[in-house]
Structure 1
Amino acid sequence: MALKVIDSHFHIWDPDTQDLPWLAGLPALQHKYTVEDLEAEYAKFGVDFLGGVYVEVDAADHELEDRLLFENPSPKILKRMLRSDVSPWMRIPINADGIREPLHVDSEPRGRCLETSFIEGLEAMADKGLPFELCNRGAELPDMAKAFSQVPQVTVIVDHLGNAPGLDDDTKAALTALAGLPNSYIKVSGDNPVDPDIVKYVRDTFGPKKVLYSSNWPVVELNSTFAAHFQLMLDTFGEDEDFFANNARRAYGIEA
């Protein structure tokens, strides 16, 4: 039986339709990517690609992005993590299954996650049962641990191994604190080949039920390739059904 795969983090976009300012210096990614393109990548491995989680693309026009996702009929889009600025009065797109406010971009000041409005927004999200998609600058992992420890009831899904810069004492302490939260998960992904030492630490710290596979396609193509990353995940985790599918089901509430 083919390995079942849920990709917990992928993007699609069309620069002819959307303005994505961050692509300006990345000509390799300045073309259209579709769900069908991603399906073709998985088909090369002969796995059963069930679908995945669309994650917002930091577009200039968030409402256009919401509409394009609403109009996309692909059954492979299992959940949608869309953009909003976290606060107790935040606007949430009606087709959102969760929210990401990018904390890794230059426009986000350090300490944003510790602002009162952000913490209160997380509390409101927890009340609504909405998960938060966490993408942060690696050096600020201790800030993330401090912020999310104040709202342990919220589901937080950490992108790209927390963008951990290494395994210094502060980083390990922050990852350990995040792992200890009852509703936390972490993705093994990124736009660089993953560091096996960080993967091992995260796997040991978060445990086998809280670590998610993700491709970060097509951004993974910047410094690696989809094929190289997926093969590395197979070599590292084997055909672990929790890692490749079941943990994503739990984290995002994806029905079997």
Structure 2
Amino acid sequence: MIVDSHQHFWAPARGDYDWMGTGDALKPLRRDFHPQHFEAFRARHGIDKTVLVQAAATVNETEYMLGLADATDWIGKVVGWVDFENPSHRKPLERLARHRKFAGVRPMIQDIPDTDWMFRPDVQWGYQSLIDLDLTFDALGYPIHLDNFLKLFTRYPKLRVVVDHCMKPRIRDDAFDDWAKGIAKIAHETQAFCKLSGLATEAKPGWTVATLKPYAEHVIDVFGPERVMWGSDWPVLELNGTYDSWREAALTIVGDRPGKDTIFGGTAAKFYRL
């Protein structure tokens, strides 16, 4: 099974994609992206299943994505959202958990100004609820969050965690060392998985395979193929690359190393129970 472990669909007219703003930088993303727009990539690269990930901080968007998944066989799972600051959201989480294609949630931690937000007493119910309901947690953040995520994953060792986008190393600034140490500690000291995704977006325009290779290889080396899953992050990827260019770059970087099939399908299938 070949899996894209991280992609998005959205309809901006729904009105809850606040991060898209109105400026020129994200203008290419402010249009509809639906399953029919993904079909060409799926056919060209033999993608069997995808994991559809939230892009709005609303339960309504999660229900919208589950509707798309109900109508689309190849959407294997949906990663949604609930309000961790509202303990009453345990009820919608329990309801969502009964859907066969609901995997878990992703709080949009990268967008929260308080880097210690994840330790607030009023949000702890969320992590424990994911454990209770056997759901997944997508960890979305920046290198500044690495130490805190290490503490969080250590506090909740039974939480089924995957780090999104390799925790977004600042490739455009050649900032490798501190990120590499932090991500390695998470790999070595916790049971977290990691998505080989998002790297192109963090590089300067005109990136090459050589630009991304040190970061991708480091993630594969410290986590091991059995805990690394490839994802496109499409259509966000369109800001600084294409589906084809990132897919080919990743295939080139992984090469024929043992575990190639695991990285491009097996790990995601195991983690998300496709």
CA offsets per residue over residues 164-218 of structure 1, 9 Å max, x none?
233324x334212321355311011112357321211111110110011000000
Please, what TM-score do these two structures have when normalized by structure 2? Answer: 0.82
Please, what TM-score do these two structures have when normalized by structure 1? Answer: 0.87
C-alpha distance in structure 2 between counterparts of 1:5 and 1:217, whole Å: 16
Pair 30,114 (structure 1): closer, same or farther in 2 beyond 3 Å: same
Pair 238,187 (structure 1): closer, same or farther in 2 beyond 3 Å: same
Asked if the contact 1:211/1:247 (under 8 Å) is kept, the reply is yes
What aligned pairs does 1:200-239 form with structure 2 within 5 A after superposition? 200-238=217-255
- 1:52 lines up with 2:61 in the alignment: no
- 1:126 lines up with 2:131 in the alignment: yes
Asked if the contact 1:152/1:181 (under 8 Å) is kept, the reply is no
Aligned to 1:10: 7
SS at 1:180 equivalent: helix
What aligned pairs does 1:69-218 form with structure 2 within 5 A after superposition? 69-72=65-68, 73-86=71-84, 90-91=89-90, 92=93, 94=96, 95=99, 96-105=102-111, 107-165=112-170, 166-169=175-178, 171-181=179-189, 183-190=191-198, 191-193=201-203, 195-218=212-235
CA offsets per residue over residues 86-116 of structure 1, 9 Å max, x none?
36654315143201101101x4421012223
Unaligned runs of 5+ in 1: none
Between 11-20 and 243-252, the greater mean CA deviation after superposition: 11-20
- 1:244 lines up with 2:264 in the alignment: yes
Asked if the contact 1:189/1:213 (under 8 Å) is kept, the reply is yes
C-alpha distance in structure 1 between counterparts of 2:167 and 2:138, whole Å: 11
- The percent of aligned pairs where both chains have the same amino acid is 25
Query: Which has a greater percent of helix?
Result: 2
Asked if the contact 1:192/1:224 (under 8 Å) is kept, the reply is no
Unaligned runs of 5+ in 2: 204-210
C-alpha distance in structure 2 between counterparts of 1:120 and 1:178, whole Å: 22
Pair 19,116 (structure 1): closer, same or farther in 2 beyond 3 Å: closer
Pair 111,236 (structure 1): closer, same or farther in 2 beyond 3 Å: same
SS at 2:10 equivalent: coil
What letter corresponds to residue 16 of structure 2 in structure 1?
D
Aligned to 2:39: 39
Shift of 1:34: 1.2
Asked if the contact 1:6/1:248 (under 8 Å) is kept, the reply is yes
What letter corresponds to residue 34 of structure 1 in structure 2?
H
CA offsets per residue over residues 219-244 of structure 1, 9 Å max, x none?
00001111110110111123721011
C-alpha distance in structure 1 between counterparts of 2:124 and 2:215, whole Å: 28
CA offsets per residue over residues 49-107 of structure 1, 9 Å max, x none?
11211100125xx23313322322111111111011336654315143201101101x4
Asked if the contact 2:216/2:253 (under 8 Å) is kept, the reply is no
Aligned pairs, number = 245
C-alpha distance in structure 2 between counterparts of 1:226 and 1:63, whole Å: 28
C-alpha distance in structure 1 between counterparts of 2:117 and 2:8, whole Å: 25
Aligned to 1:22: 19
Asked if the contact 2:217/2:253 (under 8 Å) is kept, the reply is no
What letter corresponds to residue 186 of structure 1 in structure 2?
C
